[in-house]
Amino acid sequence: MDAILVINAGSSSLKFQIFEMADASPRRCIRGQIDGIGTRPHLLASAADGTVLVDRRYTPDVVDHL
Q: What is the pLDDT of residues 3-54, one digit of tens each?
A: 999 999 988 899 999 999 888 788 999 999 999 988 889 999 999 999 999 9
Domain boundaries, the chain: 3-65
Indicate if the alpha-carbon torsion angle 37, 42, 43, 45 is positive or negative.
negative
Q: What is the pLDDT of residues 51-64, one digit of tens each?
A: 999 999 988 776 66
pLDDT of residue 25: 86
Give me the numbers of helices (H) and strands (E) for the chain, helices first please: 0, 5
> Residues in the chain, how many?
66
- Whole-Å CA distances, 45 to 33, 38, 52: 6, 19, 6
Q: What is the pLDDT of residues 35-45, one digit of tens each?
A: 998 888 999 99
pLDDT of residue 39: 85
